[in-house]
């Protein structure tokens, strides 16, 4: 039976997964690498560290298997990072990562001088500090000698694909987060290329996530210990790859990730953009599209509350005291790192409101869990305003290990929440894309239907949904009321 490798190129480590053609996971390996912060708010990595991690990881991953059975490799990867190569395909400078905040000036230029309407028209999105295009403008302004040497502009996982195949490639889902792609037409935007003062030949060829971009070069095959016949598929950005891994493919399918940050990922057969660009409108790894709301602090809010404020690691025990759902008068705004979707407000801050003398520690713990769910619903409401009907969602990430939090999510959103047998995120999605590329399955949807198993479903309770409807309306009124204070404090 053929074997497939999924490579999840994360921010702190690369996670590699070996899967057989039926979807059975044979082995998982993880290799960490450093991240550097050369200035406050900057975040960089050396692409060579990624490659070293991938090489060591694949050798360990395949140590006990018949390497000739490894038919394909594909990826999920940290998005938005800027990797620039010279005319000898050497890395010019460390990669500027998704969580790097140096581009405030460039984002302001793109959104307010070029204009959000034009950006949305060209790319279906507006500029955010993490996106790739503002980073290109930053390099041009601050490192002109490096800018002049650029021959190729790449994303993190695509550099690994290049090292394997010698092909400069990217995929539709990851390219969507660069602010250089015409998402609707799945091609580079000529207007954005001009705005960023680059040439089209400096950008890689755009593939669908399940397309084969090449096979291993002789050198890569030798380095990895794999056959040269091993196919490499383009892969996807981490969220799109995770969506494949949870079976979130097909019209109106939804996945909620309660990780450090939180995402609501809605797959759609049709292209769509909301009026305020509150959600990202990206290409999906299944050949269609998706909308995504990203909140910057999700499970990390609960970790902060438990570890740093209460001082406990026993999360489950703290939640035992929470028995009266939908009746809490304490609210929590989960904006500990500012907020992306739908407010796009870096000045927003975490806030407890509604406290009285009779409130307990459990009330505040409950408010944190509910605040994250309410903030997730903010993005859910934007999707509904576009006429997208969502009746159920998958759920993944560390926060999904809490039955109580999953129950809160089901009733705040008023939809069914499906729990999965196995949730391995982007690495699983990468392996599934490799299997599709090699012809093991006719489509990404077919692979998801065959491999992803739902083991339990949390049903919303009508009475509780009604209570949470009222509470959500109260929550939704808080941010507009305090937004001006956040902006004012940021100036001081």
Q: What is the pLDDT of residues 174-233, one digit of tens each?
A: 999 999 999 999 999 999 999 999 999 999 999 999 999 999 999 999 999 999 999 999
Lowest mean pLDDT among 254-263, 321-330, 349-358, 470-479: 254-263
Residue 357 marked as a ligand binder: no
> How far apart (Å, rounded) are the C-alpha atoms in residues 176 and 168?
17
Contact between 128 and 294 (Cβ < 8 Å): no
Q: What residues have CB less than 8 Å from 433, skipping those under 6 apart?
A: 6, 74, 75, 209, 210, 233, 234, 235, 236, 241, 244, 285, 444
Check whether 154 is labelled as a binding-site residue: no
Q: What pLDDT shows up at residue 107?
A: 95
| pLDDT digit string, tens, across residues 114-150 | 999 999 999 999 998 889 999 999 999 999 999 999 9
CA 201 to chain CA mean position, Å:
27
- CA proximity to 428, closest of 94, 84, 149, 16: 16
Neighbours of 2 (CB within 10 A): 16
| 337 band by pLDDT with thresholds 50, 70 and 90 | confident
State the first-to-last Cα distance of the chain, in angstroms, to the nearest integer. 63
For the domain made up of 3-240, the CATH class stated in words is alpha beta
- Mean predicted lDDT score pLDDT of the chain: 95
Kindly tell me the sign of the dihedral angle through the C-alpha atoms of 174, 178, 182, 188: negative
d(CA 159, CA 177): 16
Q: Which residue has the tokens 């809605």?
A: 266
Are 18 and 74 a contacting pair, CB within 8 Å?
A: no
Mean pLDDT (whole number) for 348-355? 96
CA distance 343 to 264: 15
| 52 vs 277, higher pLDDT | 52
The secondary structure of the chain, three-state, reads CCEEEEEEECCCEEEEEEEECCCCEEEEEEEECCCECCCCCCCEECHHHHHHHHHHHHHHHCCCCCHHHEEEEEEEECCCCEEEECCCCCECCCEECCCCCCCHHHHHHHHHHHHHHHHHHHHCCCCCCCCHHHHHHHHHHHCHHHHHCCCEEECHHHHHHHHHHCCCEEEHHHHHHHCCEECCCCEECHHHHHHCCCCHHHCCEEECCCCEEEECCHHHHHHHCCCCCCEEECCEEHHHHHHHHCCCCCCCCEEEEECCCEEEEEEECCCCCCCCCCCEEEECCCCCEEEEEEECCCHHHHHHHHHHHHCCCCHHHHHHCCCCCCCCCCEEECCECEECCCCCECCCCCEEECCCCCCCHHHHHHHHHHHHHHHHHHHHHHHHHCCCCCCEEEEECHHHHCHHHHHHHHHHHCCEEEEECCCCHHHHHHHHHHHHHCCCCCCHHHHHHHHCCEEEEECCCHHHHHHHHHHHHHHHCHHHHHHHHHHHHHHC
pLDDT tens per residue, range 444-492:
999 999 999 999 999 999 999 999 999 999 999 999 999 999 999 988 7
The band of 1, judged by pLDDT with boundaries at 50, 70 and 90, is confident
**C-alpha closest to that of 394 among 292, 249, 290:** 249
Please state, for a pLDDT cut of 90, what percent of the chain lies above it.
86
CATH of 250-422+461-492, one of 3.40.50.300, 1.10.10.10, 3.40.50.720, 3.30.420.40: 3.30.420.40
- What is the model's pLDDT at position 111? 96
Residues that are catalytic:
238
Q: Give the pLDDT mean for 231-256.
A: 94
pLDDT over 70 percentage in the chain:
100
Look at residue 162 in the predicted model and tell me its pLDDT.
Answer: 98
Q: What is the pLDDT of residues 400-426, one digit of tens each?
A: 999 999 999 999 999 999 999 887 889
In the predicted model, what is the mean pLDDT of residues 433-454?
A: 97
pLDDT at res. 423:
78
32-90 pLDDT per residue, tens: 999 999 988 889 999 999 999 999 999 999 999 999 999 999 999 999 999 999 999 99
In the chain, what are the domain boundaries? 3-240, 250-422+461-492
d(CA 246, CA 256): 10
Cβ pair 201, 307 in contact under 8 A: no
The Cβ of residue 215 has, within 10 Å, a number of other Cβ atoms equal to 19
Q: Compute and round to an integer the Cα radius of gyration of the chain.
A: 22
Q: How crowded is residue 490: how many other Cβ atoms within 10 Å of its Cβ?
A: 13
Which residues are within 8 A (CB) of 418 and not within 5 positions of it... i.e. 6 or more apart?
Answer: 392, 393, 394, 395, 454, 456, 457
Mean pLDDT of 152-170: 98
What pLDDT is stored for residue 389 in this prediction? Answer: 86
Mean pLDDT to the nearest integer, 146-160? 98
Instruction: Determine the pLDDT at residue 100.
Output: 87
**Contact by Cβ (8 Å): 462, 304:** no
Q: Read off the tokens for 368.
A: 């944190």
Under the banding of pLDDT at 50, 70 and 90, the label for residue 91 is very high
* Beta carbons of 234 and 211 less than 8 angstroms apart: yes
Output the CA torsion 373→376→380→382 (10° steps).
130
Residue 277 pLDDT greater than 90, yes or no: no
Kindly tell me if the per-residue pLDDT of 308 is higher than 90: yes
Average pLDDT for 351-364: 97
């Amino acid at each position: 039976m053929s074997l497939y490798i999924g490579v999840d190129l994360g921010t702190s480590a690369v996670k590699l997964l070996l899967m057989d053609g039926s979807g059975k996971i044979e082995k998982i390996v993880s290799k960490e690498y450093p991240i550097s912060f050369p200035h406050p708010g900057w975040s960089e990595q050396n692409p060579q560290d990624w490659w070293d991690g991938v090489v060591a990881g694949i050798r360990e991953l395949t140590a006990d298997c018949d390497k000739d059975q490894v038919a394909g490799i594909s990826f999920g990867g940290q998005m938005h990072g800027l990797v620039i190569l010279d005319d000898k395909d050497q890395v010019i400078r460390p990669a500027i990562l998704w969580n790097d905040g140096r581009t405030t000036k460039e984002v302001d230029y793109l959104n307010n001088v070029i204009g959000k309407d034009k950006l949305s028209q060209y790319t279906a999105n507006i500029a955010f500090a993490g996106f790739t295009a503002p980073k290109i403008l930053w390099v041009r302004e601050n490192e002109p000698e490096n800018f002049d040497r650029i021959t190729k502009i790449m994303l993190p996982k695509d550099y690994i694909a290049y090292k394997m195949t010698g092909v400069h490639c990217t995929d539709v889902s990851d390219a969507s987060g660069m602010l250089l792609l015409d998402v609707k037409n799945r091609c580079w935007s000529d207007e954005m290329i001009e705005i960023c003062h680059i040439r089209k030949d400096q950008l890689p060829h755009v593939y669908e996530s399940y397309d084969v971009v090449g096979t291993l070069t002789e050198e890569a095959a030798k380095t990895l210990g794999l056959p040269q016949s091993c196919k490499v598929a383009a892969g996807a950005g981490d969220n799109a790859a995770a969506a494949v891994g949870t079976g979130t493919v097909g019209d109106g399918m939804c996945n909620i990730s309660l990780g450090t940050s939180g995402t609501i990922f809605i797959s759609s057969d049709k292209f769509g953009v909301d009026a305020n660009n509150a959600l990202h409108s990206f290409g999906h790894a299944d050949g269609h599209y998706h909308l995504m709301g990203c909140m910057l602090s999700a499970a990390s809010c609960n970790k902060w509350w438990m570890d740093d404020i209460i001082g406990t690691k026993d999360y489950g025990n703290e939640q035992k005291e929470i028995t009266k759902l939908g009746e809490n008068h304490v609210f929590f705004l989960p904006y500990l790192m500012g907020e992306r979707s739908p407010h796009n407000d870096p000045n927003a801050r975490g806030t407890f409101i509604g406290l009285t003398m009779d409130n307990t520690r459990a009330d505040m713990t409950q408010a944190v869990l509910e605040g994250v769910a309410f903030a997730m619903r903010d993005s859910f409401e934007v999707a509904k305003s576009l006429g997208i009907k969502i009746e159920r969602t998958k759920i993944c990430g560390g926060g999904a290990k809490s039955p109580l939090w999953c129950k809160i999510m089901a009733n705040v959103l008023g939809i069914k929440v499906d729990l999965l047998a196995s949730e391995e995120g982007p690495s699983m999605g990468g392996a599934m894309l490799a299997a599709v590329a090699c012809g093991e399955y006719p489509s990404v949807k077919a692979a998801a239907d065959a491999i992803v198993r739902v083991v339990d479903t949390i049903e919303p309770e009508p009475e509780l949904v009604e209570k949470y409807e009222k509470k959500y309306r109260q929550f939704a009124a808080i941010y507009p009321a305090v937004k001006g204070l956040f902006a004012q404090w940021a100036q001081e």
